[in-house]
Chains A and B, each alone.
Chain A
Amino acid sequence: MDLKVLRATIGKEFQIRLRAYPVDFMVGCILTSFYTVFGAWMMYHYFFRKRLATDFADLAGTSDYMSYAIVGSLVYLFVVRTCLNVSRRLITELREGTLESLMLAPFRRTSYFVGNMILQTIMTLGETVIAAIIGIFFGLRIHEFCLWKFITAVLLSLYGFFGLSLILGCVMIYARDTYVSQNTLFAAIFLVCGITFPKEYLPKILQMIGDIIPVTDSLTLIRSAFFGGLSTDRFIHIGIKVFIAGTVYVFTGLPLMKQLEKITLEKMEG
């Protein structure tokens, strides 16, 4: 990995974020997370009057529905933000007309994407913290915090999300569309990855789709760092699964992206 390119990418992206794009977008994302939490809160407190299904506690590993849903929506916010920006990067360069100059520069793909990911992670962390503070008002409580599990879970999740963004980026640059592909993926993640309800409620086939998206397992890990309910052996087992899935995504994503760039550059004017 080329550190110079990495630093330059972070610097460049930060400038772009600061100067060209307004704060609206950030506010928009926090609002999205707020709505999800708010919807869950309404359902829990007003619609069903705190009456949970009997199997919820077993499946979720905690009987605190609000904390369960809030942690889910925070992770969802994280996925949406990182995937959105990392995978949209190249197609945005194409639209802004800078893709050609980027390709002419001594540009290293890995450093470029990792740089984007790092910047995005830092920015999203800020947003997640704000969203978490909102979450506390809606009843977010941490029952059994475990630091090493938390750090491991976050690092593994970032790796998995990075892989996912690369694949989404490939789809975007191939279809030259960001709107439909990103929103379809996000809607699907919301459904199959157990964001606000345990994925065991879903039919088998949807559960299988959920299993190949690293978000599901990352979420299980992060939740267990907050609420417990998962043995260390099981934690390590799921952690390895996320790592393998992430590796598969990253190592198919990067070469595929390289191939697709060529196609894009060829038909750029078409």
Chain B
Amino acid sequence: MSTPQNRREDPSLLASVADGDRGALRTLYERHAPWLTLRLKRRCADPGIVEEVVQDTFVAVWKGARRYRGQGEVAAWIWGIGIRRLIDRLRARPLPIPSALDRGGIVISAEEEVLLSVEHGDLGMALDRLSPELRAVMQATALDGLTTREAAKLLGIPQGTVKTRLMRARHELREALA
């Protein structure tokens, strides 16, 4: 971590990537590939697919760096690409929910204070009481930032089912937290 490249902010690195700077891509990769791999692994049981998706994602970053509009975290932008690439890969053969997504859950607020209270609080327990199907739907929409249509593709269920499960999950959580 001695070169100045490593101390540059993500958006400035991304701007260099847009100008064809491979070194900048390498730095972005070193920063973001590890968490992306770990996070995708929690959503896809097949490590081979996860690796392909991570590679696809950074090739997409290379080609589409110009599309980053300079708003929001670069990490969130990369995640948006990654999770959609995963959906594309899984489209042919969606994963059964229990094997890959039984750890599904929810974040109802982006506020870190709220998130911290999750650990031993009511929300944690409320989440645990949700069925795996409902948690998977909450995770895909609330945490992963997918639309109901994309969530349907990821989970291999109809879009209408995603909507009804989402409504039921919200209802159950509200009851549990009331």
Are A and B interaction partners?
A: no
Residues of A within 8 A of B (CB): none
